[in-house]
């Protein structure tokens, strides 16, 4: 009798355990993360680290990365070491830093990434902003799509100014592309501000005087920024979008910006052909 009761008790425990929910979620560090807060536990000799609140950390499957704020940007490389719990970041003009990773999910389904800096006791808390895309060429914050933010080291020719402007237009269009694919209600141009003015199913321009410094200062001089602005302004004046409206402003503005991007590239090609004759 005792043997039978013991067997039933063991069977009951096993069955109950098997009914417990098991967290099988697999996390990925790839994608776009926004730094919400830094839990600082500084001791003497600690450094505050290289990350700042409000920054976007973007990690791509080619092991490239970008870190952006309203005023600046860094590009570099990343790797995951050990048992997939140590993230190593090497940004340009910055020392290599190692972070211990810890993932979690809120009740609402929001993914959280905590990075503990090996060089200090700081824990940076990130919220996922966007999941990775299959094609990294469509990632708005991939290093190849934020070249418009990189300061020109020397005076640029008209074709170079055009390419910088094209890169900016493509970048803004990809912000909308990601919104189309993932979260159309959470579109943010906070880190993409320049002469492009977004309307509902229409694209316009901000006056040059109020264009944000992050766009102007990337050019070698304000005079060259004004030339690039003029190229954009002239394109809007001389060209009319002929596509049909869908009634969805994200879709419409993405299509318009893609049309502007392709039109600027076509104009540049025509200019090169004229010079070659």
pLDDT digits (tens, 9 = 90+) for 155-180: 999 999 999 999 999 999 999 999 99
Residue of 267 and 60 predicted with greater confidence:
60
Q: Give the pLDDT score at 274.
A: 60
Q: Give the pLDDT score at 113.
A: 96
Q: Give the pLDDT score at 79.
A: 95
Q: Which of 119, 130, 114 is nearest to 39 (CA)?
A: 114
**What is the C-alpha to C-alpha distance for residues 214 and 70, in angstroms, rounded to an integer?**
7
Residue 118's pLDDT band (boundaries 50, 70, 90)? confident
Residue of 52 and 66 predicted with greater confidence:
66
Q: Give the pLDDT score at 94.
A: 82
Q: Give the pLDDT score at 23.
A: 42
Q: Give the pLDDT score at 175.
A: 96
Residues 10-38, mean pLDDT to the nearest whole number: 64
Q: 84 with 157: CB under 8 angstroms?
A: no
Residue of 89 and 44 predicted with greater confidence:
89
CA atoms within 13 A on the CB side of 240: 2
Residue 119's pLDDT band (boundaries 50, 70, 90)? confident
**What is the C-alpha to C-alpha distance for residues 53 and 115, in angstroms, rounded to an integer?**
13
Residue 24's pLDDT band (boundaries 50, 70, 90)? very low
Residues 227-238, mean pLDDT to the nearest whole number: 97
pTM greater than the 0.75 cutoff: yes
**What is the C-alpha to C-alpha distance for residues 206 and 194, in angstroms, rounded to an integer?**
8
**What is the C-alpha to C-alpha distance for residues 73 and 67, in angstroms, rounded to an integer?**
6
């Amino acid at each position: 009798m005792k043997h039978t009761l013991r067997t039933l008790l063991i069977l009951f425990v096993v069955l109950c355990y098997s009914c417990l929910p098991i967290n099988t979620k697999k996390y990925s560090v790839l994608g776009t993360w926004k730094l919400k807060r830094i839990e600082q536990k500084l001791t003497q000799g600690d450094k505050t680290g290289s990350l700042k609140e409000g920054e976007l950390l973007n990690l791509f499957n080619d092991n490239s990365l970008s870190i952006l704020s309203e005023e600046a940007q860094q590009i570099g490389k990343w790797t995951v070491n050990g048992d997939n719990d140590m993230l190593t970041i090497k940004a340009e003009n910055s020392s290599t830093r190692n972070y211990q990773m810890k993932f979690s999910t809120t009740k609402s389904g929001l993914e959280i990434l905590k990075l503990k800096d090996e060089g200090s006791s700081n824990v940076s808390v990130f919220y996922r902003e966007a999941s990775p895309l299959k094609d990294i060429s469509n990632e708005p914050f991939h290093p190849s799509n934020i070249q418009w933010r990189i300061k020109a080291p020397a005076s640029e020719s008209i074709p170079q100014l055009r390419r910088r402007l094209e890169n900016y237009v493509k970048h803004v269009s990809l912000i909308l592309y990601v919104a189309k694919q993932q979260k159309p209600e959470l579109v943010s141009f906070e880190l993409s501000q320049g002469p492009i003015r977004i309307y509902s199913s229409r694209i316009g321009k901000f006056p040059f005087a109020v264009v944000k410094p992050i766009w102007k200062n990337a050019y070698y001089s304000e005079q060259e920024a004004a030339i690039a602005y003029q190229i954009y302004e002239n394109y809007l004046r001389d060209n009319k979008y002929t596509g049909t409206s869908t009634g969805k402003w994200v879709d419409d503005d993405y299509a318009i910006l893609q049309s502007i991007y392709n039109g600027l590239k076509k104009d540049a090609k025509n200019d090169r052909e004229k010079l070659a004759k």
